[in-house]
Amino acid sequence: MIIGVPKEIKNNENRVALTPAGVSALVARDHKVYVQSTAGDGSGFLDSQYKDAGAKIKKDIKSTYAVAEMIMKVKEPIKEEYSLIKKDQLVFTYFHFASYKPLTQAMIKSKSVCLAYETVELPDRSLPLLVPMSEVAGRMSVQEGAKYLEKPLKGRGILLGGVPGVPPAKVMVIGGGIVGTEAAKMAAGLGADVTILDVNLNRMRYLEDVMPANVTTVYSNGYNIRELCRESDLIIGAVLIPGAKAPKLITRDMLKEMRPGTVLVDVAVDQGGCIETCKPTTHARPIYIIDDVIHYCVANMPGAVPYTSTLALTNATLSYAIKLADHGWKKACQDDLALRKGLNIVNGQVVYEGVAEAFNLKYTPIDSVL
Ligand SMILES: NC(=O)c1ccc[n+]([C@@H]2O[C@H](COP(=O)([O-])OP(=O)(O)OC[C@H]3O[C@@H](n4cnc5c(N)ncnc54)[C@H](O)[C@@H]3O)[C@@H](O)[C@H]2O)c1
């Protein structure tokens, strides 16, 4: 198959869909890979590394789209890219269709085959192509939180791990899923006194088993959250209710009971946030302060560490890309139920129920296109 890897043109996006190692794996299976010149620069991968791995370099985005049977991307196509996508072309990327109607309409019109990373789903209902970004955001939340706890950045001036003779900082992590687990591990590793709150008792049993001694689990309810808010230095919001907006677990009035310089990192901001006062911020202006409490609510946290994020993403996507390239999308999706769930729009038909529902469009059952 001929695979095209364009440079991401969405504002501030530095990731790329394939590493040189990924190119090498596809080329070894007799596929042809065309990488747009400088596509990997933002993640630290040079054209020369792609060439050495067996890719051919295309000078611009137009020729990269034109040559490819499968486009591998990171972010959803933006307006400038809509007209580059052709009939029958397979586009494998994050789409998040339900949140943006113009993109959905453009992809229906293109008659391409849109396979969305975010809806590839394993039988246990986990989302293997979303997990790596949650891992990155979870680990990063503690790094960012520790930074903003420093006095010059308006924080409480407390070191997460304390020092001998001085107690460590207290970290509350709300939600013990992927983001919360990674956050708790990082905070505990730095020596903080960590509490994870969740509503899933089985998950808390598991966390109790695997976490070090400086991590405690507490059932998540309004009473416990309010109590812990009063004594926490860093609070990380990591809840998710699939398919719904995040519940507002920290309310505006709780801010007044927190100590000045407390840091809130609401990783769940992309689902509306679990902190009432959360509004999305960017890497250019990541924080704002309300009632002396620092709010960090960056909606695309992994974008700040493109080297790590690119490697983590391609570790997860490559095996699926190989199946698609080896067998073509139809056969690959017939054989692999997880990949099949990734199909959202096929030749102008919406085959993912959630997307059809979001915009009141006709839903075509997936089996009829396979
Ligand atoms: N900002 C970013 O850059 C970024 C990056 C990746 C993920 N995210 C977001 O982070 C959030 C968490 O993602 P995840 O992969 O960890 O999800 P997950 O499904 O693995 O974990 C969510 C956890 O929240 C728990 N939960 C549900 N209701 C709760 C409540 N009332 N109190 C406490 N816990 C509750 C669930 O039981 C589950 O354990 C999602 O909204 C995701 O989209 C944001």
In a domain, 129, yes or no: no
> What pLDDT sits at residue 113?
98
Answer yes or no: do 296 and 338 share one domain: no
How confident is the prediction along the chain (370 residues), in pLDDT tens digits per residue?
999 999 999 988 999 999 999 999 999 999 999 999 999 999 999 999 999 999 999 999 999 999 999 999 999 999 999 999 999 999 999 999 988 999 999 999 999 999 999 999 999 999 999 999 999 999 999 999 999 999 999 999 999 999 999 999 999 999 999 999 999 999 999 999 999 999 999 999 999 999 999 999 999 999 999 999 999 999 999 999 877 789 999 999 999 999 999 999 999 998 889 999 999 999 999 999 999 999 999 999 999 999 999 999 999 999 999 999 999 999 999 999 999 999 999 999 999 999 999 899 999 999 999 9
Answer yes or no: do 159 and 271 share one domain: yes
Ligand 1 atom 21: the closest Cα is on which residue? Answer: 177
Q: Which atom of ligand 1 is nearest to the CA of 303?
A: 3
In a domain, 311, yes or no: yes
Answer yes or no: do 351 and 264 share one domain: no
Buried b (16+ CB within 10 A) or exposed e, 42-58: bbebebebbeebbbeeb
Answer yes or no: do 77 and 195 share one domain: no
Query: What's the CA-to-centroid distance between 187 and ligand 1, angstroms?
Result: 17
Query: What's the CA-to-centroid distance between 287 and ligand 1, angstroms?
Result: 20
Q: How many CA atoms lie within 13 A of 265 on its CB side?
A: 29
Answer yes or no: do 243 and 361 share one domain: no
Pairing status of strand 32-36 against strand 113-116: unpaired
CA atoms of 298 and 287, how far apart (whole Å) = 8
Spatial contact of 99 and 355, defined as CB atoms under 8 Å apart? no
Catalytic sites, residue numbers: 96, 270
Answer yes or no: do 92 and 153 share one domain: no
In a domain, 357, yes or no: yes
In a domain, 64, yes or no: yes
Structure tokens at 182: 């990674």
Could you give the 3-state DSSP secondary structure of residue 201? Answer: helix
Instruction: Note down the domain range covering 346.
Output: 2-120+306-369
- Gap between the terminal Cα atoms of the chain: 19
Answer yes or no: do 181 and 269 share one domain: yes
> What pLDDT sits at residue 257?
97
Total domains, the chain: 2
**215-219: strand order across its sheet:** 215-219, 193-198, 170-174, 234-237, 263-266, 293-296, 287-290
In a domain, 127, yes or no: no
Q: DSSP for 155-185?
A: S----TT-BTTBPPPEEEEE--SHHHHHHHH
CA atoms of 141 and 183, how far apart (whole Å) = 6
Spatial contact of 75 and 94, defined as CB atoms under 8 Å apart? yes
Question: Among candidates 349, 350, 351, 331, which has minimal Cα distance to 341?
Answer: 351
Would you say the CB of residue 299 lies under 6 angstroms from ligand 1?
A: yes
CATH number at residue 152: 3.40.50.720
